[in-house]
Amino acid sequence: MRNLLPAILSTMSLNLLVSSCHAAFTTKGSSIASRPFSVRPLSASPQRIGIVGGGMAGLSCAYHLLRKTSQEGNPVQVTILDEDEVGRKGASSVAGGLLHPFSPRGKLVHLGLEGLKSTNTLIKAALKHEPSLLLRPHLYRAAQTPTHVENLKLTSENFPEFATWLSTEELKSQVGEGDWLGGIKLENGCQVIHVPTYLKGLWKECQELSKQTVEWVPQSISKSDWDGCLDRFDAVVLAAGSGLWTAENSALGMELPVELVRGQSVEMRMDPSLSHPNEAVLCGKYIVPRPGEDKLLIGATHEYKEIPWNKEEVTTDLRDRSEGLAPVVWDKGVVEGVTCGIRVQSRRGPKGRMPIVGLWEDRKASHPYVWLFTGLSSRGLIYHGLFGDILSDAILKGDDQALLNSYSETAWWK
Ligand SMILES: Cc1cc2nc3c(=O)[nH]c(=O)nc-3n(C[C@H](O)[C@H](O)[C@H](O)COP(=O)(O)OP(=O)(O)OC[C@H]3O[C@@H](n4cnc5c(N)ncnc54)[C@H](O)[C@@H]3O)c2cc1C
């Protein structure tokens, strides 16, 4: 039995978990001397916006801010402060890249179709710059129990434009050997992307839209940097994922309804002379193709303990839970490496796990105008486009209320 941390972890525990994901969250930031903020009113039309964190959340927000204001001929100035280069750190850099709007039971998630449409708009923009981001224009969801069969058949009946039921034989002919009772093929916007390459494409699109008003500043922001570093912005967006809970940022006192969950995956290499379908298959765990014909990723663990599992423990856990999905890969593949990232998982509510987005009124940071965009849980791809869009409207209006009026569900965490 795993020793699970309480559902809502204390800030101290969150810090320990974050700092223990290999070296992924060590900071290397500059130290800007603290100085007090000048007090100013909320800006109704902010011109200089600082975004801390350039993962899916931060880049989506930047893209929407720049798209909207450049259409009006007056792009805002956006500065992304990130501790590394685009696509190199955070949960986004290790995500499986599976995009679809269905829950594990095959139900449509809240705002799933709106999210799918919005994310596909961003993907289309990124594809102009990075065509290799698209790994597969479809994915497969396998049924391994009679209940899965029932649920997934219902998904294909309710959403025939996205999901097609496949018998065991049909699935086998498209995906290869596996221990399943059929499954669905998801397409028409449901797809598999290489997230780091996608983020690079989205960043290039931001640069194109902005006409020189966007910059990426490689800097790790910690509590000691906040005041001096963020004072120059009219509005600040905190989108640093689990980086908001590192020891350096503990003074922010982020007491939000989230837990941090470590996810480790194994990178597999197949013998190129061996024919294998190399498709994305999902059933709890997933197998996804990576760039290059002979590479696959199998993920991901759900770890709540402070000490990360070692390579052997990760491999054993994933093998136990996914061997039926990809017996040939486990039989013939070679584990080349392990990736690690931390999801900021929001508490499950009546509408599922919704992101945390909106004005941080209870803030401990001294900037007067701080927005939050985090808690994307395992639904980063389906939600980052839509909620970046909604958030950018609120930022440009300088009005949290407009956001709450249109999407009252975004108030769930307040
Ligand atoms: C193993 C794994 C697999 C996943 N697979 C999928 C999937 O297939 N589909 C899906 O939809 N979702 C998936 N997810 C979830 C998805 O990855 C997240 O929801 C999403 O990436 C969160 O994006 P984010 O921008 O909020 O945070 P992050 O991606 O963590 O980005 C945070 C950014 O902030 C930067 N940063 C951190 N601290 C600081 C600091 N102090 N100063 C400056 N910058 C800082 C980091 O460098 C990073 O660029 C997966 C998650 C994990 C862990």
- Give the chain's domains with CATH numbers: 44-131+192-257+348-414 (3.50.50.60), 138-188 (no CATH), 258-346 (3.30.9.10)
Ligand 1 center–CA 93 separation, angstroms: 7
Q: Which residues contact 165 (CB under 8 A, 6 or more apart)?
A: 152, 153, 156, 182, 183, 184
Query: CA 223 to CA 252: how far, in whole Å?
Result: 7
Neighbours of 120 (CB within 10 A): 17
The runs of H, that is alpha helices, within 223-279 are 223-230
Query: CA 112 to CA 116: how far, in whole Å?
Result: 6
Does residue 133 register a pLDDT over 80? yes
Quote the pLDDT of residue 88: 97
Query: CA 394 to CA 318: how far, in whole Å?
Result: 41
Ligand 1 center–CA 113 separation, angstroms: 22
Summarised one tens digit per residue, pLDDT across range 231-250 is 889 999 999 999 988 877 76
Ligand 1 site-directed mutation target among 89, 136, 230, most atoms within 8 Å of CB:
89
The token pair at 24 is: 């992924």
Q: At what angle do helices 112-127 and 56-71 cross, to 10 degrees?
A: 80
Quote the pLDDT of residue 252: 67
Higher-confidence residue: 224 or 408?
408
Ligand 1 center–CA 145 separation, angstroms: 31
Higher-confidence residue: 271 or 104?
104
Torsion of Cα atoms, 184 then 186 then 188 then 189, to 10°: 160
Tell me the β-bridge partners of 52: 81, 238
Ligand 1 center–CA 261 separation, angstroms: 11
Query: CA 56 to CA 240: how far, in whole Å?
Result: 10
Quote the pLDDT of residue 250: 67
> What secondary structure letter does DSSP report for 94?
G
Ligand 1 site-directed mutation target among 92, 309, 338, 344, most atoms within 8 Å of CB:
92
Summarised one tens digit per residue, pLDDT across range 24-75 is 332 222 222 233 333 344 556 788 999 999 999 999 999 999 999 998 888 8
Ligand 1 center–CA 24 separation, angstroms: 12
Indicate which residue's Cα is closest to atom 27 of ligand 1. 241
Q: Which residues contact 169 (CB under 8 A, 6 or more apart)?
A: none
Q: pLDDT grade, residue 5 (50/70/90)?
A: very low
Query: CA 125 to CA 274: how far, in whole Å?
Result: 35
Segment (H or E) for 405:
helix 400-406
Give the sign of the dihedral formed by CA 114, CA 239, CA 258, CA 261: positive
Quote the pLDDT of residue 232: 87
DSSP letters spanning 333-401: -EEEEEEEEEEEEEPPBTTBS--EEEE-TT--SS-SSEEEEE--TT-HHHHHHHHHHHHHHHHHHT-HH
84 CA: nearest ligand 1 atom: 47
Ligand 1 touching residue 382 (CB < 6 A): yes
Indicate which residue's Cα is closest to atom 23 of ligand 1. 56
Ligand 1 touching residue 388 (CB < 6 A): no
Indicate which residue's Cα is closest to atom 35 of ligand 1. 53
Quote the pLDDT of residue 283: 96
357-393: burial string, b at 16+ Cβ within 10 Å, e else: bbbbeebebbbbbbbbbbbbbbbbbbbbbbbbbbbbb
Ligand 1 touching residue 376 (CB < 6 A): yes
Q: Which residues contact 312 (CB under 8 A, 6 or more apart)?
A: none
Summarised one tens digit per residue, pLDDT across range 297-344 is 999 999 999 899 999 999 999 999 999 999 999 999 999 999 999 999
Ligand 1 touching residue 263 (CB < 6 A): yes
Quote the pLDDT of residue 33: 28
Best CA proximity match to 354, nearest among 386, 330, 398:
386
Ligand 1 touching residue 196 (CB < 6 A): no
Ligand 1 site-directed mutation target among 222, 381, 383, 387, most atoms within 8 Å of CB:
381
Quote the pLDDT of residue 8: 36
Ligand 1 touching residue 375 (CB < 6 A): no
Ligand 1 center–CA 56 separation, angstroms: 7
374 CA: nearest ligand 1 atom: 26
Sequence length of the chain is: 414
Ligand 1 touching residue 300 (CB < 6 A): yes
Summarised one tens digit per residue, pLDDT across range 347-389 is 999 999 999 999 887 666 667 788 999 999 999 999 999 999 9
Over range 163-170, report the average pLDDT. Answer: 98
